[in-house]
Structure 1
Amino acid sequence: MNLNLRNAVISNVSSSNQEQLKDTIVDAIQRGEEKMLPGLGVLFEVIWNNADTNEQHMMLETLEKGLKH
């Protein structure tokens, strides 16, 4: 069985509105289950690929700050 995780995650959330996307992200984080991490990674990849250079820089600053706490 050949499972393309990226396509599966994107297919599962492609029709979601912002509130549903937020609920999906918050739920995955609150559950803290390792199996949710790849899906969050796919969502981050979509965000990163659709962000301009300034937005990417802001994300990196936020990530760096968060990792230092």
Structure 2
Amino acid sequence: MDLDLRKAVIHNVKEDTQDQLKDTIVDAIQRGEEKMLPGLGVLFEVIWNHADTQEQKMMLETLEQGLSQA
């Protein structure tokens, strides 16, 4: 079976509004289901690939702070 998860996730949310995207992310986090993690990873990959160096640095700082508090 050849399933392209990235394409499937992007296809499913490509036309979503910002509110719908936020709802998708919040719902996935609140549910805490392991099966949602790959989709969140794909969304993060899109964010990362479209961020400039300064935005990436800010994300890494935020991630580092969050992990230190986890």
Which residue is 2:15 aligned to? 15
Report the secondary structure of 2:3's partner residue. Answer: coil
- Of all paired residues, the percent bearing the same amino acid is 78
Cα deviation for residue 51 of structure 1 reads 0.2
Which residue is equivalent to 1:56? 56
Residue 35 of structure 2 corresponds to 35
Runs of 5+ consecutive residues of structure 1 not aligned to the other structure: none
State the TM-score, normalized to the length of structure 2. 0.97
Amino acid at match of 2:19: E
**RMSD between superposed Cα atoms in Å:** 0.4
User: What does residue 67 of structure 1 align with?
Assistant: 67
Displacement of 1:2 after TM fit? 1.0
Q: Secondary structure at the match of 2:2?
A: coil
Q: Distance in 1 between matches of 2:26 and 2:13?
A: 14
**Paired residue for 1:47?**
47
